[in-house]
């Protein structure tokens, strides 16, 4: 039975409480039949509540002689379309972000590998003692004091050589197109 909108008005004001009591299950059935389980329970409940909100917001546009159920069904279907569009857009954006982050990671790995290769070439052209200091400090994690003891050098000498090694590597990397990072 299609009840006219005027039956839900008291003193020209829409009786939303009665409408909610009578039409909540009707709206849920529409949502369940149109969504094919792609919405969460929370999304479905949000559509039900939003339907009543849109109805309330547009209460002045309702014609008293028209039935209420087609109007509610239309609002519900539009909200379902909007929700599915938002979900689809969000899924597309997430896929896109994942692709970009994967590409960025691959690019970063390639660039890091290339930079490491260039550093190795630069280091290989140094004096043997500088190569040893570089390897002990950067690859074995030895402290300056330990390196000084191993090579029988002063700590100041080790610090100075590390400074010069870094400076040379930085200069050669910049020549190779790498900025100061």
Number of domains in the chain: 2
Question: For residue range 51-77, what is the model confidence (pLDDT) as tens digits?
Answer: 888 888 888 888 878 888 888 888 888
Q: Does residue 155 sit within a domain?
A: yes
Q: Does residue 169 sit within a domain?
A: yes
Examine the domain organization and report whether 17 and 65 are in the same domain: yes
Range of the domain at 74: 5-94
Q: Does residue 16 sit within a domain?
A: yes
Q: Does residue 103 sit within a domain?
A: no
Q: Does residue 21 sit within a domain?
A: yes
Examine the domain organization and report whether 32 and 72 are in the same domain: yes
Examine the domain organization and report whether 20 and 86 are in the same domain: yes
Examine the domain organization and report whether 82 and 140 are in the same domain: no
Question: For residue range 113-160, what is the model confidence (pLDDT) as tens digits?
Answer: 787 788 888 888 889 999 899 888 887 888 999 999 999 999 999 999
What is the value of pTM for the model shown?
Answer: 0.47
pLDDT score recorded for residue 179: 65
**3-state DSSP of the chain:** CCCEHHHHEECCEECHHHHHHHHHHHHHHHHHHHHCCCCCHHHHHHHHHHHHHHHHHCHHHCCCCCEHHHHHHHHHHHHHHHHHHHHHHHHHHHHHHHHHHHHHHHHHHHHHHHHHHHHHHHHHCCCHHHHHHHHHHHHCCCCHHHHHHHHCCCHHHHHHHHHHHHHHHHHHHHHCCCCCC
Q: Does residue 38 sit within a domain?
A: yes
Q: Does residue 48 sit within a domain?
A: yes
Examine the domain organization and report whether 73 and 133 are in the same domain: no
């Amino acid at each position: 039975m299609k009840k006219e909108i005027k039956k839900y008005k008291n003193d020209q004001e829409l009786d939303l409480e009665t409408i909610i009591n009578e039409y909540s299950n009707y709206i849920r059935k529409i949502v369940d039949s149109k969504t094919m389980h792609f919405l969460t329970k929370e999304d479905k409940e949000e559509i039900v509540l939003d339907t009543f909100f849109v109805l309330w917001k547009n209460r002045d546009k309702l014609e008293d002689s028209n039935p209420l159920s087609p109007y509610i069904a239309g609002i519900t279907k539009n909200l379902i379309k909007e929700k599915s569009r938002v979900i689809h857009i969000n899924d597309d954006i997430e896929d896109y972000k994942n692709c970009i982050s994967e590409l960025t990671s691959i690019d970063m790995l390639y660039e890091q590998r290339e930079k490491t290769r260039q550093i190795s070439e630069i280091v290989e052209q140094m004096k043997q003692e500088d190569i040893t200091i570089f390897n002990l400090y950067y690859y074995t994690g030895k402290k300056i004091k330990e390196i000084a003891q191993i090579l029988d050098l002063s700590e100041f000498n080790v610090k100075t050589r590390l400074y010069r090694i870094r400076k040379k590597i930085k200069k050669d990397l910049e020549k190779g197109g790498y900025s100061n990072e």
